[in-house]
A and B are shown apart, each in its own frame.
Chain A
Amino acid sequence: MAVDITLSVNGVPYPLTVDPHASLLHTVRGDVGLTGSKEGCDDSECGACMMLVDGRPVNACSYLAVQADGSDVTTVEGLSDGETLAPLQEAFLTRGGVQCGFCTPGMLVSATALLDRTPNPSEDEIRTAVSGNLCRCTGYDGIVKAIAAVAAERAAQG
């Protein structure tokens, strides 16, 4: 039996009717129409689907949309300010953190969650945080450096 829910995605409320078993990922991609979040493994292994739910990093492929009823959901589309990229997005571009781009939305969301909780992470903490986000192109080096650069910039700005 379909269930009526309201998802607040990147600050916009969406009243939706969803199957109880529908994933948050399929609901946001299919019903809300935001396709930035990717489906990789559909198994909580690769992290390409990662979103923030009330600030927590969530593998949206394995999270039921009904459980996010009333929650604030942030996807990669919500990180920028209109056409102005977030510092993490700029850093990924300038430091070689993006190649094919498929892991990038989940990486950016994962890194956002890390910096929200740990503003000045060590390289080890960065690598731990993105270990649930698989990248087959970059070798991770550019990604780790991009996240570290943003943390350092923020620290310098106080």
Chain B
Amino acid sequence: MSTATSMTTSASSRTYVEARDVASAVAAMSAGARPIAGGTDLVVGARHGKAPLPAALVGIHRIPGLSDVAATDGGGLRIGALVTHATLVADPAVLAAYPGLADASAIVGSHATRANGTLGGNVMNSSPAMDTGAPLLCHGGVAVLVGPAGERRVALADLWTGPGRSTAAPDELLVAVELDGPPADGASGSSYVRLQYRRQMEIAIVGAGAVVTLGADGTVTDAKVAITALAPVIHRVAEAEAALVGTDGGFEAARAAGAAAAAAARPISDVRGSADYRRAMAAVITRRAVLTAVRRARGESVPVPASDTTFGS
């Protein structure tokens, strides 16, 4: 079937089945079908002319058991692949311990996008600009994939390989993303901030996520920083994290982390911003993300989404 090169498929070659469980979805995918849940990337991409809709589709949107947010035995969080952004933004466990993820889900598309778009679709679309990527990486995100041979777990850092590309096989279905729990010692805060020209219906021009843990004396004992729309994949920046550990988490430390993020950035120029502008803004947005995470770690309230209120910091 030559769907990869033709813009349209003939009506007679199109098939659709609805999966009732993970096994039937994987079976359909093994036979060549592409999974569809909210359709907010796949169908919209086809409307854009980015890629035609696959001829064979398997609806996964009603598979039971993939729409739950639940604590893991290890003190972390397991988010089913079908959990929508709207659910994440309203989930008490997410708001309490993973506010950076709520910051991200709160600004994806419009409220219709968030009501239908799933975390699984966001992750498997592998966009370097997707908002949930940086907070998921900072929280130690692991993809749980199920294929014909069974289940395997892949760190998100090893899943994404480029824009729209991942190490998942075509017949592997993402069933959940698991996140680390907060460290046993110290107080943690997380955040995601993006540079945006408008507050809704926007795609990140530049984004950054941070998770900061403070010891009893207020010293940063652990830091995770990841950058968005600044490289072919969303990735953590070790130099930015090193610039924070051992500091007071104040402006100068955050500025140093921002400078490290800008140095690590390999942005492109496109309609939303030039590479030079993105690199310059990487420093600013990373600084704001770090300062927001520190404020939350200190117990201060920063409303979700942080992007709307952290100008000037």
B14 & A110 in contact (Cβ 8 Å cutoff) = no
CB-CB under 8 A from B113, the residues of chain A are: 44, 59, 132
CB-CB under 8 A from B15, the residues of chain A are: 1, 20
Residue of A nearest to B39 (CB): A63
CB A157 to nearest CB in B, in angstroms, measures 25
A131/B110 contact (C-beta < 8 A), A21-B14, A42-B47, A62-B47 known: yes
The 0/1 profile, CB within 8 Å of A marked 1, for residues 60-93 of chain B is 0100000000000000000000000010000000
B16 & A128 in contact (Cβ 8 Å cutoff) = no
A57 & B112 in contact (Cβ 8 Å cutoff) = yes
A128 CB contact (under 8 Å) in B11, B47, B200: B200
- Assign chain A's interface to a size class: 20 to 34
A131/B18 contact (C-beta < 8 A), A43-B48, A110-B112 known: no
Roughly how many angstroms separate A42 CA and B201 CA in the complex, as a whole number? 15
B109 CB contact (under 8 Å) in A2, A66, A113, A132: A132
A67 & B61 in contact (Cβ 8 Å cutoff) = yes
B43 & A131 in contact (Cβ 8 Å cutoff) = no
Of the candidates B36, B53, B61, B110, the one having the most CB atoms from chain A within 10 angstroms of its own CB is B110
CB-CB under 8 A from B199, the residues of chain A are: 128, 131
20 residue pairs A–B, Cβ–Cβ below 8 Å: A2-B11, A20-B14, A42-B47, A43-B47, A56-B86, A56-B112, A56-B115, A57-B115, A58-B112, A62-B39, A66-B18, A67-B36, A67-B59, A113-B112, A113-B115, A114-B111, A128-B200, A131-B198, A132-B109, A132-B111
